[in-house]
Structure 1
Amino acid sequence: MALAPTPSLLAPQPSWFTPKRLLAIFCAINLLNYVDRGAIASNGVNGSPRSCSDSGTCSSGSGIQGDFNLNNFQDGVISSAFMVGLLVASPIFASLAKSVNPFRLIGVGLTVWTLATAGCGFSFDFWSITIFRMFVGVGEASFISLAAPFIDDNAPVEQKTAWLGIFYMCIPSGIAVGYVYGGLVGSYLTWHWAFWIEALLMLPFAILGFVMKPLQLKGFSHTEPEKALISVETDCLGDEVASIGKDGSIEATKASRSSDADSYSDHLMRVLKDMKCLLVERVYVVNVLGYIAYNFVIGAYSYWGPKAGYSIYHMSNADLLFGGVTIVCGIFGSLAGGYVLDLMNSTLTNAFKLLSVATFLGAIFCFAAFCFKSLYAFIVLFAIGELLVFATQGPVNYVCLHSVKPSLRPLSMAISTVSIHIFGDVPSSPLVGVLQDHINDWRISALVLTSVLFLASGIWFIGIFLHSVDRFNEDSEHSIPIPDRSSTTPLLEENSAERSV
């Protein structure tokens, strides 16, 4: 008579968490992350620089820029400073997911985020707020690397892209809410309170990451409850990393037998091997390259949008107007992109088709919007353009998750995030600031920036013709078998038979 499968081979099912609750919590956290980005870009928090007129009358400025007397380049650096921590910490958190429970890693990251955001409110000069913004990025790193794989694991098969679209909908809507939130806080309190309130709102989620029974990701297996996760796989170079013994124990193989598996050098070598596995996936690389060009534009839009709108169209309240348009288009665009791809059949080729077409049409409308002098024409055309551009959020991350092995998904999300920021919105905000300082014409600056969306569309168009394999949906790609809801998997039955009395 065969014994029942050991608990270590089955994914734990925490009683409180359901897939929909997990999605709701992660959406709330993601929303707060991007509210912070929108708030620091808003006129209410970011403010305006000190200036002097020809008559000799000087203005003290307002917000962060006025209090710290920042030029446009320094102001752009503050917007990108958190990316430094994000870029450094993302691969670290992703690689730690193989030895530490990913759910606990999210709790650690949110705690750092909460403390660093509160510190931004206490900053007293350019360098102090820059350093705190870097630690905000460190705190966010664990979440952005691990949240999407958790959602992909728990989403219904026929709605995976739609769920990702709901999650990434929080990016444009969060930034938009941040514009409005920053404007209101700046009007009735001071810019410091914007950061302190954010920290208080995030605190319960940071605590939740430690007190709730943790989840685990597919492609990883618990060796001991709440202690370690070990990936059981053969990597892209053909090296077996670990295996499950007949008694259910984890057996180290090859290099891990001959040296300390927890040593820094072994860990670093494993990360480098995993990164090499990502770089040989052409579908993944092309997708990220298109995402870089796309994010170059979106990052600069999110930071300089209110200022450009105020200058070009003399908007009475640019924060509220840009926030309102972005939140509506971001929500409907992100949701529509996910649902359309699910209706088309969620394949990597169809994802590239949607990415290329939506971005190309969105670029046309956004470019045309800045060519008109009428505010009403601008709002209509730009809204349509944003609706199309934000439709890419679900599909582009679907490709990142499904073009690599399941156990590489955290690292794939981390490297994607690192790449789109270090080559995308990190340089775009300062570069647009430098361009504007030289030409002093926001309309031309906006047109130059928007043209980069055509490049993104072209890169994603190439992806349509690449041979693509959905790694996640191939049973052979799963190092840990995924139990079927209605029956036991063949591998589990085999392991049970081997333990039979």
Structure 2
Amino acid sequence: MVSAIKNTPDGYKPPSCVKARTLLSDECVKDVEKELRLKTHDTHKESQSYQIGDFYGVKKRVAISKFLLGATNSIGPSNALHVVTDNTTNCKTVGWEIEKVGTGLGWRYAFFGEAILMLPFAILGFVMKPLQMKGMSNAKIIPWFLNEEFSKKDYSYVSYTLNQLSRFGQDMKALLSEKVYVVNVLGYIVYNFVFGVYSYWGLKVGYNIYQVDNIDLLFGGIVIVGGTVGTIGGSLILDRINSTIPNAFKLLSIAVFFGAIFCFSAFCFSNIYVFLVLILIGEILVDASQGPVNLVCLNSVKPSLRPLAMAISTVSIHIFGDVPSSPLVGILQDKVDNWRTSILILTSILFLAAGIWFIGIFLHSVYRYEEDSEQPDMSHLLESEVANGDITSALL
């Protein structure tokens, strides 16, 4: 910009502020109108985002508001993701005009409802007593402040943090040495890689392939029904066939393999009704994995590592699964420019998840549900100089 200013002809006078915000902004309005017309003409009710610049004058702002409402109605209000305006006071009128039409709560109903439903669980988390879970030790834990090292004046928070990190590193080493657990989580990551894309790009894929107006309601119903039936059904089947780790891996590999076949086949058909039937069956089958995969996570490790095992599983399936999958599939779609091809390539990855879980059947596993938790190792907290009588009195 500085270079451009230096190269301006002698005697050049830049436009005034009023001209820049009136006459020149009219050109911006025309450009926006042209782009919006092209977008709404070429797109069949797909979700859109509009970005509007800063315009001067009440009449212009009202006109822009009306034009935005018309463009939004042309694709359906539920498909307009958001309208972005410059953060200036002049653009407030645009928002006010649009708000006069959109007086309903819309998506706020969903968020308010979810918050109300979750409120009792949040309260129970504070007031209910800790559960005495199977395999967990009932022994009292020696408080950290009994350690003489903590009573030393030169002990710092940094030293305590390093001590905790060292313990975390030891627990992670022990956790990753459990081959059954690692294979289970790897399969879960690949599984979540696929369904992260389904949840992110699903509606766009549905609109693009099947051209159905209420595809969001159809997909939502399939997720609710398939997820509920599949999760409960998979857990009941595992209990019926004896809930061991090898049986859990068998159920995981078989259910996901056949679920992948139905999901893959669903996207091969152009008929919306055939698609809905096949994708529902596939959703039920793949969601049958939820019970078995968590059973393996909990019972393939020592009781003291169960909380860490579940935490690492949850973090891993998101960091390595659904977080990178959506942008990667977006890049793939930019290359192939065909949503059916992109989604078929993605769905085929479910066969890889089934294969990974199939390997788990042949791994040596120990079912540790009945295993009692070992006495906590508190040697890292107590100095050897602490007398035995002092420890006894501390536990009382």
Deviation at 1:470, TM superposition (A): 1.1
Q: SS of 2:289's equivalent?
A: helix
Alignment partner of 1:296 out of 171, 177, 193: 193
Q: Is the 8 A contact 2:300 2:368 kept in 1?
A: yes
Q: Please, which runs of 5 or more residues in structure 2 have no aligned partner?
A: 1-45, 53-66, 88-101, 377-396
Deviation by residue 1:434-455 (Cα, 9 ceiling, x = unmatched): 3334433221121011011011
Aligned residues: 294
Deviation at 1:306, TM superposition (A): 2.0
Distance 1:193 1:355 in 2: 36
The one-letter amino acid of 1:271's match is F
Distance 2:147 2:242 in 1: 39
Distance 2:103 2:263 in 1: 30
Deviation by residue 1:275-301 (Cα, 9 ceiling, x = unmatched): 111100000000000000001011111
Deviation at 1:336, TM superposition (A): 1.4
Distance 1:64 1:306 in 2: 10
Distance 1:458 1:257 in 2: 54
Structure 1 294/187 Cα, relative in aligned 2: closer, same or farther at 3 Å? farther
Distance 2:176 2:285 in 1: 29
The equivalent residue for 1:20 is: none
**Alignment of 1:50 onto 2:50:** yes
Distance 2:149 2:179 in 1: 28
Distance 1:352 1:256 in 2: 46
**Alignment of 1:466 onto 2:363:** yes
**Alignment of 1:423 onto 2:311:** no
Alignment partner of 2:182 out of 280, 285, 290: 285
Q: Is the 8 A contact 1:219 1:479 kept in 2?
A: no
**Alignment of 1:398 onto 2:314:** no
Structure 1 192/384 Cα, relative in aligned 2: closer, same or farther at 3 Å? closer
Alignment partner of 2:82 out of 47, 59, 67: 67
The one-letter amino acid of 1:209's match is G
- Report 1:17-96 matches (<5 A): 47-50=47-50, 59=71, 66-67=81-82
Q: Please, which runs of 5 or more residues in structure 1 have no aligned partner?
A: 1-45, 71-123, 125-185, 224-229, 231-241, 243-248, 481-501
**Alignment of 1:408 onto 2:305:** yes
Alignment partner of 1:205 out of 115, 121, 146: 121
Deviation by residue 1:276-331 (Cα, 9 ceiling, x = unmatched): 11100000000000000001011111222222112211122011111112222211
The one-letter amino acid of 2:136's match is G
**Alignment of 1:311 onto 2:242:** no
The one-letter amino acid of 2:121's match is F
**Alignment of 1:383 onto 2:299:** no
The equivalent residue for 1:264 is: 161
- Report 1:483-498 matches (<5 A): none
Q: Percent identity?
A: 58
Alignment partner of 1:195 out of 111, 120, 130: 111
Q: Is the 8 A contact 1:49 1:65 kept in 2?
A: yes
Alignment partner of 2:136 out of 219, 224, 231: 219
Deviation at 1:199, TM superposition (A): 3.1
Structure 1 458/67 Cα, relative in aligned 2: closer, same or farther at 3 Å? same
Indicate the RMSD between aligned Cα atoms, in angstroms. Answer: 3.5
TM-score under structure 2 normalisation?
Answer: 0.65
Q: Is the 8 A contact 1:50 1:59 kept in 2?
A: no
Q: SS of 2:369's equivalent?
A: coil
Deviation at 1:472, TM superposition (A): 2.5
Distance 1:255 1:448 in 2: 58
Q: Is the 8 A contact 1:48 1:63 kept in 2?
A: no
TM-score under structure 1 normalisation?
Answer: 0.52
Q: Which range moves more in the overlay, 386-395 or 324-333?
A: 324-333
Deviation by residue 1:452-495 (Cα, 9 ceiling, x = unmatched): 101101111110110000123234x5548xxxxxxxxxxxxxxx
Distance 1:281 1:257 in 2: 37
Distance 2:204 2:216 in 1: 9
The one-letter amino acid of 2:294's match is N
Deviation at 1:253, TM superposition (A): 9.0
Deviation at 1:369, TM superposition (A): 0.9
The one-letter amino acid of 2:48's match is S
Larger Rg: 2
Q: Is the 8 A contact 2:222 2:280 kept in 1?
A: yes
Distance 2:148 2:306 in 1: 24
Deviation by residue 1:63-119 (Cα, 9 ceiling, x = unmatched): 79742559xxxxxxxxxxxxxxxxxxxxxxxxxxxxxxxxxxxxxxxxxxxxxxxxx
Distance 1:453 1:419 in 2: 17
Distance 1:304 1:51 in 2: 22
